[in-house]
Structure 1
Amino acid sequence: MQLGIRTNPTNPWILQEKEFNSRYLGKVEAVMCQGNGYMGVRATTEENYVEERRDTLIAGTFDKFDGEVNELPNLPDVTEIKIEINGQILDLNQGHVTDYQREIDLKNGLLTRSFTWTIAERIYRLKFERLVSMANRHLIVSRVSITPLDGQAVVMVKSGIDGQMTNNGASHLVEGDKRLFDGTFMQMLTRTSESKINMAITTCHKFKTADGHDIKQQMEIGRRQVFFKFMDTIAPQATLQFTKYSTLVTDRDNDYQGQDLGALQQFGLTLLKVESAKTFKEQLAATTTAWHRNVWDYGKLQIESNDTDDQVALNFARYQLAVSTPVHDHRMNIGAKGLTGEGYKGHTFWDTEIFMLPYYIFTKPEVAKSLIKYRYLGLSGAHRKAQANNYEGAQFPWEAAWPSDGESTPVWGAADIITGRAMKIWSGFIEQHITSDVAYGAMEYVNATGDDQFALDKVYEIVLDAAKFWASRLEYNGKVDRYEINDVIGPDEYKEHINNNTFTNYTAKWTLQTAIELYEALKTNEPQKFAELNHRLNLDLCYQLWQERVNKIYLLQPNSEGVIPENDTYLSLKTIDLSKYKSASHVGEIFNDYNLDQISKIQVTKQADVLLLLYLFEQKFAAKEKRINWDYYEPKTTHDSSLSLSTHAVLASDLKMTDKAYELFQRACQIDIGPDMTSSNDGTHSASLGGIWNVVVFGFGGIRLLGTTLRIEPHLPKAWMKLSFEIFWQQQRLRIMVDRGHLSVQALNATAPISFEHRGKQYHLDGNESVVINL
């Protein structure tokens, strides 16, 4: 696999940078981002550079600036440390740098950077280590070591809290008090300007010198800044080492119990006093243990491949998901860029339900449950959006921020290359399949886990409310006695304002059909819950409408060649040679030649649309039908969305196109860590990272949830000798191993019988039973 980030052939948990290059800061900052689901900190260097993007983001702290939509604010920075040695300010664009290495250990999130710096005929060795604790979600710890190699050195350091951060120039923070506690602990208070979230950032330093002498610190306060300055003289070959501890807390945190600013101050200060009493080594041990306990002990997955980077890419994907998933608070969800950058403003899309939720459903169901609770909390905002559009029920926002906010999609985007005017972002208005996607993801959780109580408490209401929206959204065409859905955007966002997108219509019908089944089951088996929901949603009337309309929803049928039209007009559009755009080194290069209006008149698809439908509802379509549509649509798909490659890879695997599936899998892995050195400047691609796991487990591992049936039919790529992984199924744990000739399935301390299907045959396991099947 061709990568832009180096890997360690003997350790699949390490990503490396062997040469400093200030032109490509953004990519490394994002892919080596650290976090714990509560906060994300980009891997910026301690010294600053012009093109850096020094972001610290806390999940759920959304704020608006000057009438714009909500976004996660860039918070005061505690990672910058300015160093001057013998009058030379540390800047790797100056002098000569050797033995440079920056690496992230994906197993515990430790970021390390070391190098030898020669300047003004003097040589120094520097080492920086940083962790964002998985053991205490509010904590950042950095350790700096400075060693003069060929003479005495006078070192001056400036380090503290910089509140002068912005989101690309937009400042969300109002300055608050700055003060010093006990002569050691500096603190800055700040508040988001519109959402009024109070924050306390607290920092201290601990020093270790060769002879144990004290180092005097001088506190200085500036506008939105508070920092210490200190100076020391270091003998040749001696090392000055100091550790910086910082805590970030907000009054939105669900572990904060105070009621005022004074309590918030003490909350952050007390945390820092406790944590700064521990050495860096102790903090690293604690976060390493927490990473194993919270992340790596679940969904264990091992690949034996001719390309060792396959395992690295998978470890990276899982690491990044852990960094960006707010498992601590169901009021929050996963952003399209996670917590790794300002891209998409921290908003949540359908990416969660279709591309990331499956990972958690099968590896850590309680996290999946939390992500669905977020959608339940979002019903109030979904109701407002529906009402504003003169619909009923819950119309979920295309982009979601704080759950009750409702639609958060910006109205205007990039400039049109032809007209030069800003293009309207129509997704927030007419990309409506998101409502079906939310319902689909929630039902997948119920089917995979058997969590009937959560279904009663939350999931069924989501589905019923979504069906209520779709019933009101359908448009009756009396000429042909059918219901249509016009003026929408489907998954293929290169086609705006189209009628009867097959994916949208099909999933709308599925939502209504599912709601009908739930209505009937609840009325018979759960009369108390039915009465509650009937009172709130007027289900009796809805049921009549659903029954009248569900079978009249227009579904475009295959043409004479078996191709399912993407929408009413797609198959009538002109075709062009797309090879130039399919082989482009950067996504979206078609926009160098066409604007979106022109693209809408060409048979070109941004990402899986019809093929996504065939993947998600595979039982409804024959293998021959899938292959016909693959052969038609994949050549017309530019894969300009990071969501596209993984879907195509799984479907190719299903179709026994294993070589193609593996090629697409590796291309998906390259989206963030591949050779495109600008692909991740705004943050990594969360849905693509979830999709990598989907390809391995659903594609090559052959796992598929078919209603309430688990099917296992693996398709191992030629480059792999063995694949082993663990999943949860119906609240039981399974270990699955696949090699060239065998499939092994083992129940791990099952407390109830487990069933699965393989090539039409049913298998049953209990306790620690296992079965080996010849392939």
Structure 2
Amino acid sequence: MKNYIQADEWNIIEEGFDPHLNKISESIFSLGNGHMGQRANFEEAYSGETLQGNYVAGVYYPDKTRVGWWKNGYPEYFAKVLNAANWIGIDIVIDGIQLDLSQCKVISFKRVLNMQQGYLERFFVAELSNGNQVSVAAKRFCSIVDEEAGAIRYSITPLNFSGEVKIMPFIDGDVSNYDANYDEKFWDHVDQQAAGLDTYLMLETRKTNFVVCTGSRFAVHQNGQLVAVEAQPILKDKYVASVFTLNLVQGQETVIYKYAANVSSQNYAPEDLPGACKAVIDRVAAKGFETMLQEQADAWQKKWDESDIVIEGDVSAQQGIRFNIFQLSQTYTGKDARLNIGPKGFTGEKYGGSTYWDTEAYCVPFYLATAPQQVTKNLLVYRYNQLGKAIENATKLGFNKGAALYPMVTMNGEECHNEWEITFEEIHRNGAIAYAIFNYIRYTGDQDYLVDYGLEVLIGIARFWKQRVNWSNAKKQYVMLGVTGPNEYENNINNNWYTSTLATWCMGYAIEALNYVKAQAADKCQALLGRLNFNEADETGAWQHIIDNMYYAEDKEHGIYLQQDGFLDKEIIHVKDLDPSQRPLNQKWSWDRILRSCFIKQADVLQGFYFFRDQYDIDTLRRNYNFYEPLTVHESSLSPCIHAILASRLDLADDAYNFYLRTSRLDLDDYNNDTEDGLHITSMAGTWMSVVEGFAGMHVQDDTLKFEPFLPAKWKSFSFNVGFRKNTLNVKIVADGVRITNLSGSALSVNVFDKPVLIEAGAEAFVVR
């Protein structure tokens, strides 16, 4: 675990430059705006260890799967978000020596991510090999007002000399993905131009034929005055730059402003991209850097008004939650139903930047409560639009009659995960899609979603589960063979309790949804069932028979549900008894050893208790938690938050707090020694869940928003806003109770500590603990 980020409520601060931590910092200080993003690479040259990364949302490449064997139904490619043209570059050469922090003496260095206003700044003083000392201050952001644009203010001040500087703003499209299977480059050159202060580069992806035009314009100021420069163009393959020279005067600041844009063929015809790119550059350059920066601050304030969590008395915890909310908010805005949330967002390439079940299980609750309803609806519509592909995926694996298997990993609905035990067996992801529909409707009350979209998806999923189980003559029950549950430290197991529970729940919910749509929109329902060749009596009868006769592994002696058949055949060893030098297991042990062990990567049985909290009493939860948590190594970023929520329900305040701190600072403190690959964006929503669903105990039951809160010992209070069915509430938990303020124009009934509370419009209520 690293501990070099300074504690601050609104800023992420790195003081001093350690090259060994640079790739970690590149992840932590990443920027984005939902349309594009970048790692915190330096503007000037850097020859040290770095992971260069600029990304444009939705632009991907089907990199051919690299395996030594092949199986029927195996994906032919692994889709990945592409490292796109680097637009931030500004090469600096002073008196013939290139400015490069890897090649000079770094006298001082500070990097600050201002989360409140949404920008990154960096300050350093460097001594070049000839003794010249230069001070640099750089500030940049990806605009959430002009989402196709970004801007940089880069200043140079010579401290002990006067001399000549050569400045070269550039766009470099000759880039590659760090994780390319065959070291292949994925971009082809289309066009480029450099004229005066403008540069433009247009590239096209191989195979997928996305076209992206990246453009930039710069301006130079000295002594606060605009300087006219004679820039010379440099045109190379997939690279365009302008170069000019200036005189530097000791103590005088020279400022380069760089405005850039990324526009893609997702939103424009390819032939219109140069004009569209220039229009964006014209617009933002006319505003100027300071106006754009103020607009950025104002827009971020609106985001914080919706989603901020305020913690009094614990700066580390406050910084952690705001960092997670900040990264979520700049990764996904919900404006475009074609986009989803990659596990690394715009911060790295691991996991390909594709869509996983993380979105439905972890991100949906965050956006439901902190964003307009349409944002979450777009996440669900994304899956609805890919239903045809889900049916194709199931067909490839031998299923038929409209059975739908949603992919574990996807960009366009096709499965593209390249590990067989995940691709073929981790089918619980199908249930997460159905659960998200249920969760959305439960929270928003938007039952029309079932009529227009949801029922069709639920039928496809239920048809899959019906075919995926089989009748066991030995048990006289239905069984689920050959699966991988959320605990990926077990493969090819039988009767995973979570998967089986989710499967029967899905079939039951599909029946419930069908009955609702029949009653509310009979004509639409009849048309849908006709199109799907749905025989109601046969299909729902089969589903119900499975529901009534499903086998679930359990151990009555311990009073627990078994993660899978035979789990207790393992040698049961608690994590606390492991030699710490053996952790993390996935970096220290062979896969064979992990699979034979009892150790659990993340919540598995306990994931079911989180989803279906109303179906199990507190004593059953306690028995299962007390058995499984001591065996869990939490080597998935998705694990600590679920345990924080369940520990909160069990009044295990210290456990809940420690799990919260781990999930909130997972990347800031590099708990799992993998932050350099990119941040864990989707699990960051779990940090919000830990506070709101865990410490505040917020959940929906019987169409009512309920709170069962407690206050962590280190905190004086915590507060947050939530939207619920067109109402907005501010909830503040203090030592002796809960204060809820209704910020909406209509009254709302809630439940606090099992007490019904009616809060009038504009009023507040205080409920004593």
TM-score, with normalisation over the residues of structure 2?
Answer: 0.94
Does structure 1 retain, via aligned residues, the 8 Å contact 2:390–2:407? no
Does residue 207 (structure 1) correspond to residue 220 (structure 2)? The answer is yes
Counterpart secondary structure, 2:676: coil
Does residue 738 (structure 1) correspond to residue 752 (structure 2)? The answer is no
Counterpart secondary structure, 1:671: coil
Residue of structure 2 equivalent to 1:560: 557
Gaps of 5+ in 1: 412-424
Does residue 481 (structure 1) correspond to residue 476 (structure 2)? The answer is yes
Residue of structure 1 equivalent to 2:305: 297
Does structure 1 retain, via aligned residues, the 8 Å contact 2:211–2:265? yes
Structure 2 residue corresponding to 1:331, chosen from 312, 328, 338: 338
Structure 1 CA distance for aligned equivalents of residues 242 and 452 of structure 2: 52
One-letter amino acid of the structure 1 residue matched with residue 287 of structure 2: K
Structure 2 residue corresponding to 1:355, chosen from 347, 358, 362: 362
Q: How does 1:483-498 map to 2 (within 5 A)?
A: 483-498=478-493
One-letter amino acid of the structure 1 residue matched with residue 210 of structure 2: I
Residue of structure 2 equivalent to 1:614: 609
Structure 2 CA distance for aligned equivalents of residues 612 and 72 of structure 1: 29
Q: How does 1:314-713 map to 2 (within 5 A)?
A: 314-364=321-371, 365-392=373-400, 393-404=402-413, 406-411=414-419, 425-537=420-532, 538=534, 540=536, 541-576=538-573, 578-579=575-576, 583=580, 587-589=584-586, 591-593=587-589, 595-676=590-671, 678-706=673-701, 708-713=703-708
Counterpart secondary structure, 1:69: strand
Structure 1 CA distance for aligned equivalents of residues 579 and 528 of structure 2: 49
One-letter amino acid of the structure 1 residue matched with residue 140 of structure 2: R
Residue of structure 1 equivalent to 2:131: 121
Structure 2 CA distance for aligned equivalents of residues 328 and 587 of structure 1: 38
Does structure 1 retain, via aligned residues, the 8 Å contact 2:5–2:669? no
Counterpart secondary structure, 2:760: strand
Does structure 2 retain, via aligned residues, the 8 Å contact 1:346–1:401? no
Counterpart secondary structure, 1:65: strand
Alpha-carbon distance, 1:213 to partner: 4.2
Cα distance change of structure 1 residues 436 and 286 upon mapping to structure 2, 3 Å threshold: same
Residue of structure 2 equivalent to 1:765: 759
Does structure 2 retain, via aligned residues, the 8 Å contact 1:491–1:609? yes
Structure 1 CA distance for aligned equivalents of residues 710 and 289 of structure 2: 45
Structure 1 residue corresponding to 2:156, chosen from 146, 150, 162: 146
Alpha-carbon distance, 1:121 to partner: 2.4
Residue of structure 2 equivalent to 1:414: none
Q: Per-residue displacement from partner, 1:581-640 (whole Å, max 9, x unpaired)?
A: 585696335x523x2233222211111111111122111112111111111111111111
Say how many residue pairs are matched. 747
Structure 2 residue corresponding to 1:42, chosen from 19, 39, 44: 39
Structure 2 CA distance for aligned equivalents of residues 233 and 217 of structure 1: 14
Counterpart secondary structure, 1:175: strand
Counterpart secondary structure, 1:71: strand
Does structure 2 retain, via aligned residues, the 8 Å contact 1:587–1:641? no
Does structure 1 retain, via aligned residues, the 8 Å contact 2:555–2:561? yes
Q: Per-residue displacement from partner, 1:172-231 (whole Å, max 9, x unpaired)?
A: 1111111135x3321111101011111111111111123654221110111111111111
One-letter amino acid of the structure 2 residue matched with residue 478 of structure 1: N
Does residue 278 (structure 1) correspond to residue 287 (structure 2)? The answer is yes
Residue of structure 2 equivalent to 1:239: 253
Counterpart secondary structure, 1:720: coil
Residue of structure 1 equivalent to 2:24: 27
Does structure 2 retain, via aligned residues, the 8 Å contact 1:64–1:172? no
Alpha-carbon distance, 1:646 to partner: 0.8
Cα distance change of structure 1 residues 602 and 356 upon mapping to structure 2, 3 Å threshold: same
Structure 1 residue corresponding to 2:234, chosen from 220, 226, 234: 220
Cα distance change of structure 1 residues 518 and 714 upon mapping to structure 2, 3 Å threshold: same
Residue of structure 2 equivalent to 1:419: none
Structure 1 residue corresponding to 2:109, chosen from 100, 106, 121: 100
Alpha-carbon distance, 1:79 to partner: 1.4
Structure 1 CA distance for aligned equivalents of residues 307 and 270 of structure 2: 41
Does residue 14 (structure 1) correspond to residue 8 (structure 2)? The answer is no
Alpha-carbon distance, 1:8 to partner: 5.0
Alpha-carbon distance, 1:53 to partner: 1.1
Residue of structure 1 equivalent to 2:73: none
Alpha-carbon distance, 1:504 to partner: 0.2
One-letter amino acid of the structure 2 residue matched with residue 761 of structure 1: K
Alpha-carbon distance, 1:706 to partner: 2.9
Gaps of 5+ in 2: 66-76
One-letter amino acid of the structure 2 residue matched with residue 665 of structure 1: Y
Structure 1 CA distance for aligned equivalents of residues 174 and 340 of structure 2: 27
Structure 2 residue corresponding to 1:191, chosen from 204, 210, 213: 204
Structure 1 CA distance for aligned equivalents of residues 221 and 7 of structure 2: 32
Does structure 2 retain, via aligned residues, the 8 Å contact 1:104–1:112? yes
One-letter amino acid of the structure 2 residue matched with residue 59 of structure 1: A
Q: How does 1:251-290 map to 2 (within 5 A)?
A: 251-253=265-267, 256=268, 259-261=269-271, 263-290=272-299
Alpha-carbon distance, 1:677 to partner: 8.9
Residue of structure 1 equivalent to 2:3: 4
Alpha-carbon distance, 1:6 to partner: 2.4
Structure 1 CA distance for aligned equivalents of residues 205 and 710 of structure 2: 51
Does structure 2 retain, via aligned residues, the 8 Å contact 1:373–1:458? yes
Question: Could you say what the CA RMSD is over the residues aligned between the two structures, in angstroms?
Answer: 1.9
Cα distance change of structure 1 residues 748 and 582 upon mapping to structure 2, 3 Å threshold: farther
Q: Per-residue displacement from partner, 1:219-263 (whole Å, max 9, x unpaired)?
A: 01111111111111112111211111111110113xx3xx342x1
Does structure 2 retain, via aligned residues, the 8 Å contact 1:22–1:49? no
Residue of structure 1 equivalent to 2:177: 167
Alpha-carbon distance, 1:140 to partner: 1.5
Counterpart secondary structure, 1:78: coil
Does structure 2 retain, via aligned residues, the 8 Å contact 1:450–1:731? no
Does structure 2 retain, via aligned residues, the 8 Å contact 1:582–1:638? no
TM-score, with normalisation over the residues of structure 1?
Answer: 0.93
Counterpart secondary structure, 2:666: helix
Does residue 135 (structure 1) correspond to residue 148 (structure 2)? The answer is no
Q: Indicate the larger mover: 478-487 or 569-578.
A: 569-578
One-letter amino acid of the structure 2 residue matched with residue 342 of structure 1: E
Counterpart secondary structure, 1:82: strand
Q: Per-residue displacement from partner, 1:422-467 (whole Å, max 9, x unpaired)?
A: xxx4101110000111110121011100112223212232222211
Structure 1 residue corresponding to 2:748, chosen from 740, 754, 757: 754
Structure 2 CA distance for aligned equivalents of residues 374 and 435 of structure 1: 14
Q: Indicate the larger mover: 459-468 or 355-364.
A: 459-468
Structure 1 CA distance for aligned equivalents of residues 742 and 492 of structure 2: 49
Structure 1 CA distance for aligned equivalents of residues 730 and 614 of structure 2: 25
Residue of structure 2 equivalent to 1:420: none
Cα distance change of structure 1 residues 573 and 66 upon mapping to structure 2, 3 Å threshold: closer
Cα distance change of structure 1 residues 585 and 334 upon mapping to structure 2, 3 Å threshold: farther
Alpha-carbon distance, 1:28 to partner: 0.9
